[in-house]
Amino acid sequence: MKAVLDHIGIAVEDIDKALAFYKDALGLDVEAPEEVPTERVRARSVPVGGPVLELLEATAPDSAIATYISKRGPGIHHVTLRVEDLRAALAQLTDRGVRLVNSEPRPGAGGSLVAFIHPSAAQGVLVELKQRADLDVRLDVKRLTFGDLQLTVLHDGPFRLDGGAMFGVVPRPLWEKLTPPDERNRVQLAMRPLLVEASWGRMIVDCGAGDKMAAKQVDIYGLDRTCALDQALADAGLTSESIDFALATHLHFDHFGGATMVADGVLRPRFSRARYLIRDAEWEDATHPHERNRASYLQEDFVPLKAMGVVDFFSDDSVIKPGVRVERTGGHTGQHQIVYIESGGRTGVFVVDLIPTTAHLQDPWVMAYDLFPMDTLAFKKRFIREAIEREYLIFFEHDPKVAAGYIREKNGKRFVEQVL
Ligand SMILES: [Zn+2]
């Protein structure tokens, strides 16, 4: 089995007193406090390179930490090794007759799974095995009344992209704390098209990746087609036939791949009754790809639409339908747009790849995928200030956990107050 040192657990009587040494005297950074109710401990993590020192204070007299301290006083309590598959590791140890404290995984901090090996089997050291939190997410349809409009956050399932590419010039030690990567360095993302229902009809803004990908791409992008757009539409009481308009923010496969489908070996529009609304200059770029963007613009996603006569092109920033307005940001692609939803005095903004997830709130956290990152930066700096001041409700198309929320700023730190 492969295992890496995750952390060293240190039993302390009083975390605040322990911090006088680790934080103040040594000058180390300390992470926010965390409670693990199942273990009846309070923890503070102190990063020291890869592994961390975990300061543990008992929150109840029957906690293992309290028992340890009453017998031996404060000190090193356990060493934690991280494994890929905890169940497999426990089975292997059981086969070899190793004495375990826990023969079954139990819930640990931050959604992880843990199990202890008995110290008698490990030269007097209490060894904890840990498996990271499962990165897979359950996506749900979320609804919201917004002035005269009904908004529904749909989804086309989760997918994964390279963590380095998602965070551009930001070093991994900074982004991996917010978005832990899997063993292939990919981070968990989602595709969340937005459905707008109004008196003029139903519009879907973007429509996910669809089902045309080859098995190799499905594997590379970690697509899970068991909870895709058809399921989300069904959960909302709708079908593909319910859609009157499909608006493209840009024509990358993870945004508009779902616009077409294969039926009886033939490519055809996925939404049989819909008009497809596409910015003409984006169409030009998508149908004339170059080496840098060819892997993102898959011609079968959109070329058949024009051939079938179902596309309505538009040229400029404009109100597409009452309450739905587009604005070109550039940056990610030359014609990348965000979508303003305006009704009843409120403003919501579908920010697409300008701020793909809640981990991208800091101005320079710009994706390496962007063709014109300085344009992204310039637009984003201005936009986020405005979004905070005017309290725009932000829809995050790629965030696996937060579909929508308000960007707030306190003491120079940005965060999202989740709404959906
Ligand atoms: Zn995207």
Per DSSP, the three-state class of 157 is: coil
What's the pLDDT score for residue 324? 98
Phi, psi of 21, rounded to the nearest 5 degrees: -85, -60
What's the pLDDT score for residue 36? 80
Rounded Cα distance, 124 and 112, in Å: 25
Contact 180, 171 (CB under 8 A): no
What's the pLDDT score for residue 159? 94
- pLDDT tens digit sequence for 129-138: 998 776 567 7
Around ion ligand 1, residues with a beta carbon closer than 5 Å are: 254, 353
User: Confidence band (pLDDT; 50, 70, 90) for 112?
Assistant: confident
Q: How far is the CA of 380 from the centre of ligand 1 (A)?
A: 16
What's the pLDDT score for residue 290? 96
What's the pLDDT score for residue 200? 98
Type of residue at 21:
F
Assign residue 391 a region: left if phi > 0, alpha if psi is -120 to 50, beta otherwise? left
User: Confidence band (pLDDT; 50, 70, 90) for 221?
Assistant: very high
- Kindly report the pTM of this predicted structure: 0.73
Q: How far is the CA of 324 from the centre of ligand 1 (A)?
A: 20
Average pLDDT score over the chain: 94
Segment 188-210 mean pLDDT = 97
Q: How far is the CA of 250 from the centre of ligand 1 (A)?
A: 9
Question: In 95-200, at which residue ranges do the beta strands (DSSP E only) sit?
Answer: 106-107, 113-117, 127-131, 142-146, 149-153, 158-162, 186-190, 194-198
Residue 111 has pLDDT above 70, yes or no: no
- Specify the DSSP element, H or E, that contains 232: helix 229-235
| Paired tokens of 210 | 């669809």
Rounded Cα distance, 281 and 334, in Å: 9
Residue 110 has pLDDT above 80, yes or no: no
Segment 320-339 mean pLDDT = 98
Rounded Cα distance, 248 and 251, in Å: 6
Q: How far is the CA of 367 from the centre of ligand 1 (A)?
A: 10
Per DSSP, the three-state class of 390 is: coil
Rounded Cα distance, 213 and 257, in Å: 9
Lowest mean pLDDT among 140-149, 171-180, 357-366: 171-180
